[in-house]
């Protein structure tokens, strides 16, 4: 199978992670890159549920901020990378530094994808369907994540939008797309 970049987008609880995992289960050697941090009991429980849902033979890299640097030395051992998720990665970056140059971090991520042979499945929330956030941080976050999603989608071979557990293909990698 040839190298592919797949972006799986959708709202909260839309089935993004489940769908992305089903795609990755077709691979032989999977690196699961988790960006969530267990900052409270609810997130601890969510992380535990995600961990338990993954096949035991997958390797996991838990990295909330420096995903490019952490992934780089590992990638030659895998044919598929499942990154779950950009949403929390961008949130983590902005919570540490609201002036973070998020687009340059995403360019670094895309450069890493281009430089190696593994297929990637990337999960992210679509934040452009809701209300405008009432706080500056919320608006900056929505703007940055929207830009990030557009950057990844532009490079992706396939973009899937999830709603109610159902996949809708937005981009299929065909020349007419």
What is the set of active-site residues?
50
Q: Which of 48, 5, 39 is nearest to 23 (CA)?
A: 5
């Amino acid at each position: 199978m040839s190298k592919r970049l797949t972006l799986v987008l959708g709202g909260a609880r839309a089935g993004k992670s489940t769908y992305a995992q089903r795609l990755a289960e077709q691979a032989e050697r999977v690196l699961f890159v988790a960006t969530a941090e267990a900052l409270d009991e609810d997130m601890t429980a969510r992380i535990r549920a995600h961990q338990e849902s993954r096949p035991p033979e997958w390797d996991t890299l838990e990295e909330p901020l420096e995903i490019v640097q952490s992934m780089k030395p590992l990638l030659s051992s895998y044919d598929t990378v499942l990154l779950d998720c950009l949403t929390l990665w961008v949130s983590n970056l902005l919570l540490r530094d609201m002036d973070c140059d998020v687009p340059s971090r995403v360019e670094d991520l895309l450069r890493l994808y281009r430089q190696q042979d593994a297929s990637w499945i990337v999960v992210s929330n679509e934040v452009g369907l809701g209300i405008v956030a009432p706080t500056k941080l919320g608006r900056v976050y929505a703007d940055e994540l929207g830009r990030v999603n557009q950057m990844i989608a532009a490079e992706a071979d396939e973009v899937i939008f999830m709603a109610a557990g159902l996949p809708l293909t937005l981009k299929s990698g065909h020349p007419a797309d």
